[in-house]
Amino acid sequence: MKIGIVGCAGRMGRMLINEVLATDGCNLAGGTEREGSDFIGVDLGQLAGAGETGIACTDDAAALFTIADAIIDFTLPVATTDHAALALEHGVSLVIGTTGLNDDQQGALDVAARRTTVVQAANFSVGVNLLLGLAEQVAGVLDESFDIEIIEMHHKHKVDAPSGTALAIGKAAAAGRGVNLDDVAQRVRDGHTGERRNGDIGFATLRGGDVAGEHTAVFAGAGERIELTHKAASRVIFARGAVRAALWAKNQPPGLYSMKDVLGF
């Protein structure tokens, strides 16, 4: 399967290159960066520390979509919207790890999924997706006397908050309680806030250092507390899951899928 990487010079992009090169059944179709990037023309293997591949980084995403079977995108919402349009035009499978999309940008993915296979996940880790399932199950068992708080920490370079994974955990917990997350989410607390509102799902965001990703769902009741935690020691787990999703997408009909579909949960 020919897999292309957009945003190939970033932290995730380089790990994705390595994972594609190391995975049986995969061939690296190419990689792109934004126009004017210093990495244009650099061998993709050199970028990833994997040796020469003979494939150079370009700024021509449209050309990459014409030769790839699947594209993996961990970029930014504006770029992901453009890539969704290219996937729609060329019928190329699209694996999306970009977070922080607004409604219009998400709509572009929904449109692309009418013609091609789109796998979208806030987190491609197997462990995180297990956490999502557990959070939904626990929230469904416990009533509103248990307060739900989502705590997350990432490296200082992450640009969106709360993280897409934290929001996904919140959505899972809300689904367990049969409510809409937007109706109960409390993302910011500052100053004299008053007592916590019963039934809210709160979020706390930490940023610093080179933390790959840590998430905890806290269910706090009177006299007891349940915590579900996932800690990522390396971004390799996200790259591994994304490549797994690309391979899975090869035999799927058009539609918008999640890692739950890929893993068969």
Which pLDDT does position 221 carry in this prediction?
A: 97
| Segment 193-206, tens digit of pLDDT | 999 999 999 999 99
The pLDDT tens digits for 218-232 are 999 999 999 999 999
Task: Give catalytic residues, as residue numbers.
Answer: 154, 158
Assign 234 a pLDDT band (cuts: 50, 70, 90). confident
Average model confidence (pLDDT) for the chain? 95
Q: Which among 243, 12, 248, 241 has a CA at the least distance from the CA of 130?
A: 241
Sequence ranges of the domains in the chain: 2-120+235-263, 126-232
pLDDT at 265: 78
State the DSSP string of the chain.
-EEEEETTTSHHHHHHHHHHHHSTT-EEEEEE--TT-TTTT-BHHHHHTS---S-B-BS-HHHHHHH-SEEEE-S-HHHHHHHHHHHHHHT-EEEE------HHHHHHHHHHTTTSEEEE-S---HHHHHHHHHHHHHHHHS-TTSEEEEEEEE-TT--SSS-HHHHHHHHHHHHHHT--HHHHEE----SS--SPPTT-EEEEEEE-TT--EEEEEEEEETTEEEEEEEEES-THHHHHHHHHHHHHHTT--SEEE-HHHHHT-
Does residue 166 surpass a pLDDT of 90?
yes
CB 119 within 8 A of CB 243: no
Fold of the CATH domain 2-120+235-263: Rossmann fold (3.40.50)
Q: Name the band, by pLDDT with cuts 50, 70 and 90, for residue 122.
A: confident
Percent of the chain with pLDDT over 90: 91
Confidence of residue 139 (pLDDT cuts 50, 70, 90): very high
Flag whether pLDDT at 95 surpasses 90: yes
pTM, two decimal places: 0.80
Q: Is the pLDDT of residue 50 over 90?
A: no
Confidence category of residue 100, pLDDT binned at 50, 70, 90: confident
Fold designation for 126-232? Dihydrodipicolinate Reductase; domain 2 (3.30.360)
